[in-house]
Amino acid sequence: MSEFEYKEGKRREYRNKSEELLTQLPDFCRTYERGIEGTVTATTMYQYLQRIHVFFQYLHENNSFYRNKDLKQITYDDLSHLEAEDIEEFTHYIRVGKASDGRQNKESSVNHYLCALNSLWDYSISHGRLRHNVIKDVKRGKKRRHEVITLNHENETGLFDSIQYGTNMTRHQEAYRNDVTVARDNAICLTLVRTGLRVSELVGINLDDINFTDCYFHVNRKEDKIDNVYFSDQVKEVLQEYIRLRPLLQPDPAEKALFLVTIGKYKGTRLSVRSVQLLVKKYALAGAPEVGSRMTPHKMRSTYATNLLRASEGDLTLVQEALNHESPSTTSIYLQKRQKDLRDNRNLIDEEG
């Protein structure tokens, strides 16, 4: 299976999930889905429909006007009667966790629901089905800027010591250590922290996507953009060591995935996103406890961005290209991290003197 076949498989999976939701939603949602399918990914489409489904289910269960209506019976005319207060009651419902087993949602999650509903209303207005976008009458909460969590040199050293030498690993974790697992996990973590690949991009890489002559991965980025992601000589070395041991996992000859499961009934098959998230957390907790509980593959991407910004002497355009960001504003959060580093270390030379 090529990387593109893998991506297409994921697209089919989300299209099927969307199709299942559409059988429960009003018929106009299918018209909406077809109208915007060329502008969003299959994953985004499913997320939109999922949130729209939660909204209609909420109306059915909590709004007296919709209580006697099946979800399939809701019409454009019904939507036209909604007011800002109705939407605000829904956002409160999401905010306090009534749609997520009592787990309170962050303001960003509430905004994601509003974004999905806004997309539906905008489409309906542009096609003359609704006259007013009531979603825009609702004020959105301010998105709180999160601290950029990264691995410093000491954290990074500790994390890789836990991979290579089993430092601070539990007896249970030690039981699953072997040469091929260590080589794979070392290659995964070094690739993440030295290339800034997204975890979904990492697990999608196949053997045929690696060019060891010019040192790059052929990657299918977000929005199906094809890109060459370059890696260092150090990454090249650990990748080749893992690939040398990869046959020990006895994969099916047709399995071309680079990173494979090393134990259990799925041994020799493509590693999942969730598995990478768990192994990063495991090694971070053991080797970099200062940030371990908050460390994820995306934080390793942040580490790469911060290190590249420092090494390139603040070349934001280079970092933007490396991270495959559409907008410089997305990349600019790493400038703030850099400014914080400078502020926190302003007395560093005086202290050494």
Please tell me whether residues 17 and 119 are part of one structural domain.
yes
| Same domain (yes/no): 92, 167 | no
Residue 343 pLDDT class (50, 70, 90 cuts): low
What does the pLDDT read at residue 243?
98
Select which of 53, 136, 325, 338 is catalytic: 325
118 and 236 fall within a common domain: no
Q: Are residues 130 and 193 in the same domain?
A: no
The reply to whether 301 belongs to the active site is: yes
Q: Is 334 a catalytic residue?
A: yes
Catalytic-role residue among 32, 93, 334, 337: 334
Residue 60 appears among annotated catalytic residues: no
Nearest by Cα to 270 from 342, 209, 190, 343? 209
Pair 198, 99 in one domain = no
177 and 250 housed in the same domain: yes
Query: Does position 99 have pLDDT exceeding 80, yes or no?
Result: no
Question: Who's near 329: CB < 8 A, 6+ residues apart?
Answer: none
Domain hosting 233: range is 153-344
Q: Is the overall model pTM greater than 0.85, yes or no?
A: no
Confidence band of 273 (pLDDT split at 50, 70, 90): very high
User: Is the CA virtual torsion 39, 42, 44, 50 positive or negative?
Assistant: positive
Q: Is residue 142 part of a domain?
A: no
Same-domain status, 130 and 169: no
Within a domain: 147: no
Looking at 256, 282, 301, 337, which residue is catalytic?
301
Q: Number of structural domains, the chain? A: 2
Residues 177 and 121 in one domain: no
Instruction: Tell whether 175 and 238 lie within a shared domain.
Output: yes
Is the model more confident about 333 or about 82? 82
Is residue 353 in a domain? no
Catalytic residue among 95, 222, 281, 338: 222
* Spatial contact of 69 and 78, defined as CB atoms under 8 Å apart: yes
Cα 221 to chain centroid, rounded = 12
Same domain, 193 and 133: no
What pLDDT sits at residue 314?
A: 63
Q: Which of 51, 198, 256, 337 is catalytic?
A: 198
pLDDT for 195-221, tens place per residue?
Answer: 989 999 999 999 999 999 999 998 877
User: Which residue among the candidates 60, 221, 298, 338 is catalytic per the annotation?
Assistant: 298
Ranking 16-25, 98-107, 173-182, 288-297 by mean pLDDT, the lowest is 98-107
Residue 92 burial class via C-beta count within 10 angstroms: exposed 0-12, middle 13-18, buried 19 and up: exposed
Is the confidence at residue 333, as pLDDT, over 60? no
Q: Of the given ranges (57-61, 81-85, 98-102, 191-195), which has the lowest mean pLDDT?
A: 98-102
User: Does residue 107 form part of some domain?
Assistant: yes
User: Which pLDDT does position 16 carry in this prediction?
Assistant: 95
> Do 120 and 163 fall within a single domain?
no
Q: Are residues 295 and 188 in the same domain?
A: yes
Quick check: 139 pLDDT over 90? no
Give the angle subtended at the CA of 259 by the CAs of 41 and 262, to the nearest 5°.
130
Query: What is the mean predicted confidence (pLDDT) over 56-60?
Result: 93
User: Confidence band (pLDDT; 50, 70, 90) for 146?
Assistant: low
**CA angle, corner 12, sides to 11 and 15, nearest 5?**
85
CATH label of the domain that carries residue 233: 1.10.443.10
Give mean pLDDT, residues 47-51. 96
Q: What is the pLDDT of residues 276-324, one digit of tens each?
A: 999 999 999 999 999 999 999 999 988 888 888 777 766 667 666 777 6
Give the C-alpha separation, 257 to 259, whole Å: 6
| pLDDT band for position 345 (cuts 50, 70, 90) | very low
| Confidence bin at 108 (pLDDT 50/70/90) | confident
pLDDT of residue 101: 64
Is there a catalytic annotation at residue 198? Answer: yes
pLDDT at 348: 42
Q: Let me know if 325 is a catalytic residue.
A: yes
